[in-house]
Amino acid sequence: MLHNIPWAEIFVLFHIALVTILVIRVLYHQRNTGVTVAWILMLMVFPLLGAIGYLLIGEPRLGTRRLRRQKELVRFYQNFSQTYLHDFNYHAYSGLDERYHGISQIAANKTGFEATEFNRLQLLTHDEEIITALRQDIQQSKISCLLAFYIVDAQGTIIDLLQDVMEAAQRGVVTSMLVDSVGSARFWRSEWPQKLRAAGISLTEALPIQLWRTFFVRADLRNHRKIAVIDQKIAYTGSFNLVDPNFFKKNAGVGKWVDVMIRGEGSLVQPLAAIFAGDMAVETESNLLQVQRWLDSYGKKELLHNLQVSQQDQDGIVVQVIPSAPEQGSPVIYDTIVSVIHAATRRIIITTPYFVPDEALLMALTTAATRGVDVTLIVPEAVDSKLVKYASRAYYPRLLQAGVKIALFKGGVIAC
């Protein structure tokens, strides 16, 4: 009879089995000691809450179909680099200082993109300057206009920029946009997607949220890239989203968001174009087929011409483009940064809005300071997350004791 079944004992045994399985998964999947200890404590102290939390956000799960496309994306990066950029990149690598060879190879081995030379870079540090430059290049585009942004907020000057993009599409420029589903939730609820598509723009929603798949696919892992590639000749990347600072998060109480963007010309443009194409490809099967066709028909002759033109600038800058994503299985940017810190001999300056280091990064910074490197950490005085603010300040005593200088930026949230 049902009333004789020991439901309490069954529940306890099930609970113990679930927590044990999850603890084993934590030990097997987590590589950071601090994260591992935190999850195990969470599972032991708050078993049910901890189990639900780990199932939701404990591992970077993006679904089997997306992981399959991600593997194809890695091959895409490698094939693109080998087919179109290898001869140019090899010379840049050989020209690097020998102590940077190993650091360069960390990213090259994982992403396929090596160091590139003959690049011209312009640092844009003011919002108006960034928007003006980007609009001018879009207005003058003749072949293609590729835009990937985490946040698109159609207010103020961004409306004018989107009008420029639509006009480019209407005059025959191949125009494509990739916009994150969560970061640009208000954009996707507005009339703008319909207007842009009606103008002939290929518009893709990055990582769309499906509530029923939350337990199977991580919804909090987002595409935070900010990339624009114009005519395969000009590229932008940095921290700036397509937002007008006069409207964006005015009521957050942290001041103005301070962003920077780099406008580049030269051989770095092609890896950024490939990253954009790859991000488009992993979203849908039809996008994947389109990108594969794009690679097959890629204009190598025109590419070589663009690279040869950039080579005329013998004072060009060596640049390595490093794409990163949770599904790549290895934190390539993080590994590169830690290696660079260990290799530093004179000065390190870091700016970040959210500074919550793990043990490896904390040790890299403190040991660099104690061996005589001038280490400066610049963080905003006010941030939009109290949890991050207090977590960050918990590390200050150890950093200061080692000789790290900490500067509090008072002009708003320094987002770069």
More confident residue, 70 or 45: 45
C-alpha 165 chain-centroid distance: 23
Give me the mean pLDDT over the 369-391 stretch. 87
Res. 126: pLDDT tops 50: yes
C-alpha 182 chain-centroid distance: 15
Superfamily of 344-414 according to CATH: Endonuclease Chain A (3.30.870.10)
Res. 157: pLDDT tops 80: yes
Is there a contact between 116 and 264 (Cβ–Cβ < 8 Å)? no
Report d(CA 166, CA 163) in Å as an integer.
Answer: 5
Res. 274: pLDDT tops 80: yes
Superfamily of 64-328 according to CATH: Endonuclease Chain A (3.30.870.10)
pLDDT given for residue 1 in this prediction = 47
Least confidently predicted of 1-15, 263-277, 315-329: 1-15
Give me the mean pLDDT over the 394-401 stretch. 94
Greatest distance between any 2 Cα atoms in the chain: 87
Question: CA geometry: angle at 151 spanning 150 and 153, to 5°?
Answer: 160
More confident residue, 298 or 11: 11
More confident residue, 394 or 169: 169
Res. 127: pLDDT tops 80: yes
Report the mean per-residue pLDDT for the chain.
80
More confident residue, 369 or 117: 369
pLDDT given for residue 191 in this prediction = 96
Which of 99-108, 175-184, 279-288 reaches the highest mean pLDDT?
175-184
* Per-residue pLDDT reduced to its tens digit, 172-222: 998 999 999 988 999 999 999 999 999 999 999 987 876 555 555 555 567
Q: How confident is the model at residue 256 (pLDDT cuts 50, 70, 90)?
A: confident
Least confidently predicted of 12-26, 139-153, 263-277: 12-26
Checking phi first, is residue 271 left (phi over 0); if not, alpha (psi -120 to 50) or beta?
A: alpha
The burial class, CB within 10 Å (0-12 / 13-18 / 19+), for 403 is: middle
Residue 57's Cβ-side half-sphere holds a number of Cα atoms within 13 Å equal to 9
Which of 106-115, 174-183, 259-268, 363-372 reaches the highest mean pLDDT?
363-372
More confident residue, 354 or 283: 354
Which of 7-16, 275-284, 351-360, 396-405 reaches the highest mean pLDDT?
396-405
Is there a contact between 303 and 268 (Cβ–Cβ < 8 Å)? no
- The residue among 305, 311, 152, 289 whose CA lies nearest residue 224 is 152
3-class secondary structure, 136: helix
Note if the pTM is more than 0.75.
Answer: yes
Give me the mean pLDDT over the 344-364 stretch. 91
pLDDT given for residue 186 in this prediction = 93
